[in-house]
Amino acid sequence: MPLTRTPLLAETVRKLVARGGYVNAYKIFNRLHPSDIAAILGDLSEHLRRDAFKTLYRRNLTLASEALSELGPERGAVILSEMSSQEISAILQELNPDDAADFVADLPAELQEEILGAMRAKEASEVEDLLQYPEQTAGRIMSPKVFSLEEESTVEEAISQLQDAGDLEMVFYIYVVDEHGNLVGVLSLRQLLLKRPETLLKDIMETDVIRVTTDTDQEEVSQLVASYNILAIPVVDAQNKLVGVITVDDVIDVIKEEATEDMYRLAGLDVEERVFTPPSTSIRKRVPWLVVNLATAFITALVVAQFEATIAQYAVLAVFMPIVPLLGGNAGNQTLTVMVRGIALGEISWANSRKALVKEVIIGATNGFVVGVLVGVVAYLWKGDPIIGVVLSLAMLGTLLVAAVTGTLVPLFLRWLKIDPALASSIFVTTATDVVGFLFFLGLGALALARF
Which of 109, 163, 180, 417 is the binder for a copy of itself (CB under 8 A)?
163
Instruction: Give the alpha-carbon dihedral of 263, 266, 267, 268, to 10 degrees.
Output: 120
Q: Is 450 in the site for a copy of itself (CB under 8 A)?
A: no
Shortest separation between residue 242's beta carbon and a copy of itself, angstroms: 20
Which residues from 369-428 bind a copy of itself, rule CB under 8 A?
Answer: 370-371, 374-375, 378
Nearer to a copy of itself, 181 or 342 (CB): 342
Other beta carbons within 10 Å of 86 = 10
Nearer to a copy of itself, 86 or 352 (CB): 352
How would you classify the pairing of strands 232-236 and 242-247? Answer: antiparallel
Which residues from 130-159 bind a copy of itself, rule CB under 8 A?
Answer: 159
Q: What angle do CA 125, 131, 137 make, to 5 degrees?
A: 135
Which residues from 222-261 bind a copy of itself, rule CB under 8 A?
Answer: 223-229, 231, 248-249, 251-253, 255-256, 259-260
In sequence order, what are the residues at sequence separation of 6 or more whose Cβ sits closer than 8 angstroms to the Cβ of residue 183? Answer: 148, 175, 176, 177, 209, 211, 234, 236, 240, 241, 242
Total residues contacting a copy of itself by CB under 8 A comes to: 120
Write the interaction track for a copy of itself spanning residues 69-88; mark x where CB under 8 A is met and - where it is not. Answer: -x------------------
Which residues from 178-217 bind a copy of itself, rule CB under 8 A?
Answer: 189-190, 193-194
Which of 121, 305, 447, 450 is the binder for a copy of itself (CB under 8 A)?
305
Which residues from 268-297 bind a copy of itself, rule CB under 8 A?
Answer: 268-269, 273-276, 279, 282-283, 286-287, 289-291, 293-294, 296-297
What is the C-alpha separation between 294 and 301, in angstroms, rounded? Answer: 10
Which residues from 1-60 bind a copy of itself, rule CB under 8 A?
Answer: 1-4, 7, 10-11, 14, 33, 35, 39, 42-43, 45
**Interacting span for a copy of itself (CB under 8 A) from 107-115, 124-132, 178-186, 350-358:** 350-358
For 90, the enclosing helix (H) or strand (E) is helix 85-92
What is the C-alpha separation between 149 and 174, in angstroms, rounded? Answer: 7
In sequence order, what are the residues at sequence separation of 6 or more whose Cβ sits closer than 8 angstroms to the Cβ of residue 448? Answer: 387, 390, 391
187 near 173, Cβ under 8 Å? yes
Whose CA is closest to 123, among 71, 170, 158, 88? 88
Q: Is 161 in the site for a copy of itself (CB under 8 A)?
A: no
Q: Is 267 in the site for a copy of itself (CB under 8 A)?
A: yes
